[in-house]
Amino acid sequence: MKILMVGSGGREHSLLWKLAQSPQNPLLYAAPGNAGMAQIATCISIGVTEIASLVEFALQERIDLTLVGPEVPLTLGIVDEFESRGLKIFGARRDAAMIEGSKSFAKNLMRKYRIPSGDYEVLDDPKKARAYLEKVGAPIVVKADGLAAGKGAIVCPTLEAAHEAIGMIMEERVFGDAGAQVVIEEYLTGEEASFLAFTDGKTVLPMASSQDHKPIYDHDQGPNTGGMGAYSPAPVVTDAVHQKIMERVMLPAVRGMAAEGHPYKGVLYAGLMIKDGEPRVLEFNARFGDPEAQPLVVRMGSDLIPVLEAVIAERLHEATIEWRSEPTVCVVMASGGYPGQYEKGKVISGLDEAASVPGVVIFHAGTTLKNGKVVTDGGRVLNVTGIGKDIRQAIATAYQGVKKIYWEGVHYRNDIGKKALDRMVG
């Protein structure tokens, strides 16, 4: 069996790592891949948005299954294109990926199908946006409507900060065309959690719970990033909360998408704010979370391939997933300066020593090979994932691995998993 992984980040490396363990012993390819993925797959120098070239490669190599990691190719219609050529591919079609590609589309869907979320307004004129801000006040959240690599949501504690956000997004266009419209949204309080599920458009098969850490610095300070670490399970998602998320969020979203003529197949990800046991949706994503996929796949006890195939064949009701009871913690190691400007090409040392720590798995994100050495090639560089008998041990294991790795300017948070630990001891 030949499988093609589209993407080059830590999420894609973790999924490839999981696929490599399948008893089906698949032959793996990655486009474009990274230095870590090259150890278990043949890397092909085709970018994630070069859809015609990816289709040609899949046809030429007789790829049996393609798995799409990032959101951009999904919103560009990679799934539609592959399916039109008779190729088997896992991911949301273009019209379904709109649930992530347009925040206004997602918010309108939530309003129509009564999925709990914050109040909001969609605006395409900076003057009107500023007038609306004056009406509603702060704190408030200003979001670029389109895709912004996880960085398009700006939490504004003051009106001054909110006006700055409007200027950045709509006038300076720091996120490009994604900022042509903004969604100005109620600021929700509570504890964040990520809830990912497989769906074939009818059945929803939830994954274990997880929690991401968006801000760059400890104690959730500083600007938002694509994610600085994650852990699974998230204690804030109790059994009762899990049931509410399924009944009030995931099932209505999948049914709503079908009713709107956009049947949703793939992974549906709900970013949630949970307060007093009540979940409200911050955002939907149309793919595996990054870095949530990393701790999740390490906990996944069963083969991933049958689940992917069940989604594609629309027989997900026949599939099950086993989860290891031990918690996992993933710490993202980033380039100095991320999420702003950063330098590439820094030589990374200590990878072998870190990988030899019992319970540590290292997933590469922004890495490449240069003169036989692994060097930095992105903002988020490595995802060091630890598993332990409890959350305290999983945290200690992950950071034991982190501390063995170095490159000039390396940055990481020191408090990944602390919220789970506080709940355990509290």
Domain range annotation of the chain: 2-94, 125-180, 191-318, 328-425
Backbone angles phi, psi at 266, to 5 degrees: 140, -145
426 — pLDDT class (breaks 50, 70, 90):
low
Helix (H) / strand (E) element for 144: namely strand 140-144
DSSP assignment letter at 238: -
d(CA 205, CA 48): 27
How crowded is the C-beta side of 386, counted as CA atoms within 13 Å? 26
191-318 shares the fold of 125-180: no
pLDDT tens-digit readout, 324-356? 999 999 999 999 999 999 999 999 999 999 999
Task: Give one word for 229, left, alpha or beta, with left for phi > 0 and alpha for psi -120 to 50.
Answer: left
Its pTM stands at: 0.95
Helix (H) / strand (E) element for 332: namely strand 328-334
DSSP assignment letter at 162: H
pLDDT score at 57: 98
Contact between residue 194 and residue 292 where contact means Cβ atoms under 8 Å apart: yes
Domain 2-94 coded CATH 3.10.129.10 = no
Contact between residue 325 and residue 230 where contact means Cβ atoms under 8 Å apart: no
Backbone angles phi, psi at 135, to 5 degrees: -75, -45
pLDDT tens-digit readout, 61-82? 999 999 999 999 999 999 999 9
Q: What is the per-residue burial (b if ≥16 Cβ within 10 Å, else e) of 187-212? A: ebebebbbbbbbbbbbbbbbbbbbbb
Both structure tokens of 170: 């709509």
Helix H segments across 77-220?
Answer: 78-84, 94-101, 103-112, 126-136, 159-166
Report the largest interatomic distance among the alpha carbons of the chain, rounded to a whole angstrom: 59
152 — pLDDT class (breaks 50, 70, 90):
confident
Q: Which residues pair with 80 in a beta bridge?
A: none
d(CA 152, CA 271): 14
pLDDT tens-digit readout, 218-263? 999 998 898 999 999 999 999 999 999 999 999 999 999 999 999 9
Answer whether residue 402 shows pLDDT above 80: yes
The CATH topology of domain 328-425 is Glycinamide Ribonucleotide Synthetase; Chain A, domain 4 (3.90.600)
Contact between residue 380 and residue 362 where contact means Cβ atoms under 8 Å apart: no
**Which of 378, 377, 382 is closest to 361 using CA atoms?**
382
* Contact residues for 419 (Cβ-Cβ < 8 A; gap 6+): 191, 211, 236
Specify the range with the lowest mean pLDDT, choosing from 115-119, 147-151, 333-337, 415-419: 147-151
Domain 125-180 coded CATH 3.20.20.70 = no
The CATH topology of domain 191-318 is D-amino Acid Aminotransferase; Chain A, domain 1 (3.30.470)
Backbone angles phi, psi at 267, to 5 degrees: -105, 130
Order across the sheet with 204-206: list the strands.
Answer: 204-206, 191-199, 266-275, 278-285
pLDDT score at 148: 82
Q: Which amino acid is at 215?
A: P
Helix (H/G/I), strand (E/B), else coil: 352: helix
pLDDT tens-digit readout, 352-363? 999 999 999 999
